[in-house]
């Protein structure tokens, strides 16, 4: 006997309850982005392999799902959206009004070892602000990221935002004695310091050919970063030396400029945060669960050089990505996921009359939308209508079905009422019933359903 096929490692099947959660998250992403004036875009699911090799960094490249097409072209499934966005802006940049404020909700693919919060296929909200080099654009991205978390019921106690600045970090590291040509390697190592064992870390330091004095600094970072902030005494001593102190002062000015009142004290400079992607230039940030569990829920930063590297004009850009997997874990942990399926019917038709045709008649009448050809839009939405497929006329049983389907209302067509030219209308939540005259029923039903649904 053949084994049953399994879904590929690190992928998900979205059955209706999981799909409802996914839509709940995606709808919030879309809603909040539009509120902040960002417009939705998308691009291809795969790109040429080189697009990711240029500037995304070793880690992403090692996780690519790469393949060759029949024409011998090397391609890869997108592990992230930023290179696609930079490619589009490089191609069209001159013709696009600035600033460009775009968001996208692509599926992304990374051949990671699947674990909690980490899959091989995930959905990632991307927000990018292109054409403004000021801290105001960084701040707006941060504000939008926080607004999304608040929109889904989280509070500043549920998450923490850490930030750093790549260019200032470079200045600081050079000030501490790291050679300028070792900065890329230093960022790579710093990004990994807390994820590696001591042995792995030492191996990495040796493989990247750091000098003994450079290794000493990175060792110090490694040991201090694991400690609570108050106990990082050696690091603090290091930063009080003249050169690092000058950089540190610039960092504190930025901290003030970037701080958002809504984040209160929950916004910290983190010297250990450099982010794995190689294209970041200035401000970088990450949002993580306040309990320190799971990988970051969102991360991003400035990538002022990427569009130029892809052949465009020098164009400043900042943005972030937020994954659905970690966000869902965070919401579930705080009891904030909706507990009833979204998109349940507005109306469940309970037909207890002898006329079977009445069910279809009412269903099609209520489901119908009204389209305006001049405005080219639907001006009255049809309702979500469901009914039983069983032959029973037992009203009690049919109402149980309506409740199981999470219907808001039941339209009860029963012989008694119909003979008096009325229908029964039941609010499924309050369990109250009223009678609607047949001649006005459709208008009254549409009015009742127009408020309060999801
Ligand atoms: P990233 O830090 O690689 O940044 O990913 C952002 C978020 O996507 C992560 O914080 C995580 O929630 C989610 N994510 C990433 N990989 C996985 C995975 N294997 N499984 C589940 N979730 C994952 C970027 O991708 C940048 N391109 C973001 C950006 C946009 N920077 C500027 N603009």
pLDDT for the residue numbered 278: 85
Residue nearest to atom 15 of ligand 1 (CA): 323
83 CB near ligand 1 (under 6 Å): no
Is there an atom of ligand 1 within 6 Å of 118 CB? yes
Is 5's pLDDT higher than 90?
Answer: yes
Our mutation pick for probing the ligand 1 site, out of 12, 81, 275, 323, counting the most ligand atoms within 8 A of Cβ, is 323
Measured in Å, residue 319 CA sits from the centre of ligand 1 at 11
Is 112 a pocket residue for ligand 1 (Cβ < 6 Å)? yes
Which of the four pLDDT bands, split at 50, 70 and 90, describes residue 451?
confident
How close is the Cα of 321 to the center of ligand 1, in Å? 5
Task: Identify the residue whose C-alpha is closest to ligand 1 atom 18.
Answer: 118
Ligand 1 pocket residue status of 298, Cβ below 6 Å: yes
Is 330 a pocket residue for ligand 1 (Cβ < 6 Å)? no
Judge if the beta carbon of residue 312 lies within 6 A of ligand 1. no
Q: What is the pLDDT of residues 81-111, one digit of tens each?
A: 999 999 999 999 778 999 999 999 999 999 9
* pLDDT (average), residues 146-161: 96
- pLDDT for residue 89: 97
Q: Which atom of ligand 1 is nearest to the CA of 275?
A: 2
Mean pLDDT is lowest, of 78-82, 249-253, 340-344, 439-443, for 340-344
Provide the mean pLDDT of the chain.
92
- Mean pLDDT for the stretch of residues 297-320: 96
Give the tens place of pLDDT for each residue, 265-295.
Answer: 889 988 888 888 889 999 999 999 998 888 8
pLDDT value for 264: 79
Mean pLDDT of 329-333: 96
In the chain, which residues fall in CATH 3.30.930.10? Answer: 11-158+290-333
Residue whose CA is closest, atom 13 of ligand 1?
323
- CA-nearest residue for atom 29, ligand 1, is 320
pLDDT tens digits, one per residue of 38-70 = 999 999 999 999 999 987 778 889 999 999 999
Distance of CA 124 from the midpoint of ligand 1 (Å): 7
**Residue 452 pLDDT > 70, yes or no?**
no
Superfamily of domain 347-450: Anticodon-binding domain (3.40.50.800)
pLDDT grade for 76, boundaries at 50, 70 and 90: very high
pLDDT of residue 259: 92
Segments of the chain assigned to CATH 3.40.50.800:
347-450
Q: Is the CB of 110 under 6 A from ligand 1?
A: yes
Q: What is the mean pLDDT of residues 132-140?
A: 96
Please, which pLDDT band fits residue 364 given cuts at 50, 70 and 90? very high
82 CA: nearest ligand 1 atom? 27
294 closest CA partner among 154, 152, 158, 148? 158
Per-residue H/E/C for the chain: CCCCCCCCCCCCCCCHHHHHHHHHHHHHHHHHHHHCCCEECCCCCEEEHHHHHHHCCHHHHHCCCEEECCCCCEEEECCCCHHHHHHHHHHHHHHCCCCEEEEECCEEECCCCCECCECCEEEEEEEEEECCCCHHHHHHHHHHHHHHHHHCCCCCCCEEEEEEEHHHHHHHHHHHCCCHHHHHHHHHHHHHHHHCCHHHHHHHHHHCCCCHHHHHHHHHHHHHHCCCHHHCHHHHHHHCCHHHHHHHHHHHHHHHHHCCHHHCCCEEECCCCCCCCCCCCCEEEEEEECCCCCCCCEEEEECCCHHHHCCCCCCCEEEEEEEHHHHHHHHHHCCCCCCCCCCCCCEEEEECCCCCHHHHHHHHHHHCCEEECCCCEEEECCCCEEECCCCCCCHHHHHHHHHHCCCCEEEEECHHHHHCCEEEEEECCCCEEEEEEHHHHHHHHHHHHCCCCC
Higher-confidence position of 151 and 169: 151
Evaluate: CB of 266 within 6 angstroms of ligand 1.
no
CB of 128 sitting under 6 A from ligand 1: yes
Which pLDDT score, from 0 to 100, does residue 453 have? 52
Architecture (CATH level 2) of domain 11-158+290-333? 2-Layer Sandwich (3.30)
282 lines ligand 1 (CB under 6 A): no
pTM of the model: 0.91
pLDDT at 243 over 80: no
Residue 326 CA, ligand 1 centroid: distance in Å: 10
Which of 27-31, 152-156, 201-205 shows the lowest mean pLDDT across its residues?
Answer: 201-205
Percent of the chain with pLDDT strictly greater than 70: 98
In this prediction, residue 185 carries a pLDDT of: 87
């Amino acid at each position: 006997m053949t084994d049953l096929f399994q879904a590929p490692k690190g992928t998900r099947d979205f059955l209706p309850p999981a799909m409802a959660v996914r839509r709940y998250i995606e709808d919030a992403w879309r809603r909040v982005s539009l509120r902040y004036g960002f417009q939705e875009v998308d691009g291809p699911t795969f790109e040429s392999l080189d697009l990711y090799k240029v500037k995304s960094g070793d880690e992403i490249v090692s996780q690519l799902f790469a393949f060759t097409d029949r024409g011998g072209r090397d391609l890869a499934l997108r592990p992230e959206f930023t290179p696609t966005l930079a490619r589009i802006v490089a191609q069209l940049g001159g013709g696009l009004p600035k600033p460009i404020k775009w968001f996208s909700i692509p599926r992304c693919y990374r051949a990671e070892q699947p674990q909690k919060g980490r899959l091989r296929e995930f959905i990632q909200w991307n927000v990018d602000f292109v054409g403004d080099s000021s801290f105001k654009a960084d701040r707006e991205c941060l504000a939008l990221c926080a607004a999304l978390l608040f929109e889904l019921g989280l509070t500043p106690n549920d998450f923490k935002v850490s930030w750093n600045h790549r260019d200032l970090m470079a200045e600081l590291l050079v000030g501490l004695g790291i050679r300028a040509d070792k900065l890329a390697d230093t960022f790579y190592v710093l990004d990994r310091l807390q994820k590696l064992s001591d042995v792995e870390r030492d191996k990495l330091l040796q493989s990247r050919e750091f000098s003994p004095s450079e290794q000493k600094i990175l060792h110090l970072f490694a040991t201090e970063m694991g400690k609570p902030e108050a106990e990082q005494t050696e690091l603090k001593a290091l930063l009080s030396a003249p050169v690092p102190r000058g950089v540190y002062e610039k960092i504190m000015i930025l901290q003030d400029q970037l701080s958002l009142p809504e984040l209160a004290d929950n916004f910290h400079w983190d010297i250990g945060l450099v982010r794995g992607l190689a294209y970041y230039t200035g401000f970088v940030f990450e949002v993580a669960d306040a309990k320190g569990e799971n990988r970051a829920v969102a991360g991003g930063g400035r990538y002022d050089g990427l569009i130029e590297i892809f052949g465009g004009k020098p164009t400043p850009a900042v943005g972030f990505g937020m994954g659905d997997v970690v966000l869902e874990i965070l919401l579930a942990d705080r009891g904030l996921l909706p507990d009833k399926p979204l998109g349940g019917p507005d109306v469940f038709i309970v037909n207890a009359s002898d006329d079977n045709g009445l069910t279809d008649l009412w269903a099609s009448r209520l489901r119908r939308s009204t389209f305006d050809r001049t405005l080219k839009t639907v001006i009255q939405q049809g309702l979500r209508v469901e009914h039983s497929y069983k032959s029973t006329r037992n009203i009690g049983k049919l109402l149980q079905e309506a409740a199981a389907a999470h219907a808001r209302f039941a339209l009860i067509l029963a012989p008694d009422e119909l003979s008096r030219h009325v229908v029964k209308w039941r609010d499924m939540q309050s369990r109250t019933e009223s009678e609607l005259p047949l001649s006005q029923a459709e208008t009254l039903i549409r009015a009742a359903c127009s408020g309060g649904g999801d």
